[in-house]
Amino acid sequence: MLRRGKEPELTGRIVVPGNPQYNSARREFNTFFNKFPLVIVFAQKTRDVVNAIRWARFNNIPIRMRSGRHSYEGLSVVTGGIVIDVSDMHEVDVNRKRGIATVQTGIRGGALNEALWNERLVVPVGVCRTTGIGGVTLGGGHSILSRQYGLTQDHLLDAEIVMADGRVLHANADQHADLFWALRGGGGGNFGVCTTFRFRAHRIDTVAYAEITWDLRDMEQVIRVWQEFTAPGADPRLGPLLSISNGLQGPPRNPVFFQGVFLGSTAEMRKLLRPLLRAGSPRKVTIEEITWIESVRRVADTQATLPYPFKGVAPYVKHLPNAGISTIRRFIEKTPTSSAGVFLHGLNGAVAKVPSRATAYFWRRAWSDVTLQATLSTQEEAKRGIRWVENFRRAMLPFTRGVYVNTPDLSIKNWKQAYYGGNFDRLTRVKARYDPKNIFNFPQSIPPARG
Q: 120-129 in b/e burial notation, b at 16+ Cβ within 10 A?
A: ebbbbbbbbb
Where in 280-299 is the site for ligand FAD (CB under 6 A)?
Answer: none
* Residue 126 or 185 having the CB closest to ligand FAD: 126
- Residue 361, classed as helix, strand or coil, is coil
- Residues 125 and 65 sit within 8 Å (Cβ to Cβ): no
Q: Which of 15, 78, 116, 138 binds ligand FAD (CB under 6 A)?
A: 138
- Residues 128 and 251 sit within 8 Å (Cβ to Cβ): no
Helix or strand run (H / E) with residue 292: helix 292-301
> How far apart are the C-alpha atoms of 71 and 120, rounded to whole Å?
30
Q: Which DSSP string corresponds to 185-220?
A: TS-TTSS-EEEEEEEE-EE--EEEEEEEEE-GGGHH
* Residue 136 or 208 having the CB closest to ligand FAD: 136
Q: How far is the CB of 87 from ligand FAD (least distance, A)?
A: 8
Where in 155-194 is the site for ligand FAD (CB under 6 A)?
Answer: 188-189, 193-194
Q: How far is the CB of 432 from ligand FAD (least distance, A)?
A: 18
* Residue 77 or 216 having the CB closest to ligand FAD: 77
Where in 405-434 is the site for ligand FAD (CB under 6 A)?
Answer: 406-407
Q: How far is the CB of 143 from ligand FAD (least distance, A)?
A: 6
Q: Is 240 in the site for ligand FAD (CB under 6 A)?
A: no
Q: How far is the CB of 63 from ligand FAD (least distance, A)?
A: 9
Where in 246-285 is the site for ligand FAD (CB under 6 A)?
Answer: none
Q: Is 86 in the site for ligand FAD (CB under 6 A)?
A: yes
Q: Tell me how far the alpha carbon of residue 88 is from its chain's centroid.
A: 20
Instruction: Give the end-to-end CA distance of the chain in Å, rounded to a whole number.
Output: 22
Q: How far is the CB of 134 from ligand FAD (least distance, A)?
A: 3
* Residue 234 DSSP one-character state: S
User: What residues contact residue 190 under an 8 Å CB cut-off, 6+ apart?
Assistant: 138, 182, 427, 431, 435, 440, 445, 446
Q: How far is the CB of 69 from ligand FAD (least distance, A)?
A: 5
Q: Is 105 in the site for ligand FAD (CB under 6 A)?
A: yes
Which residues here bind ligand FAD, judged by CB under 6 A?
29, 64-72, 75-76, 86, 105, 126-128, 131-132, 134-136, 138-142, 188-189, 193-194, 303-304, 406-407
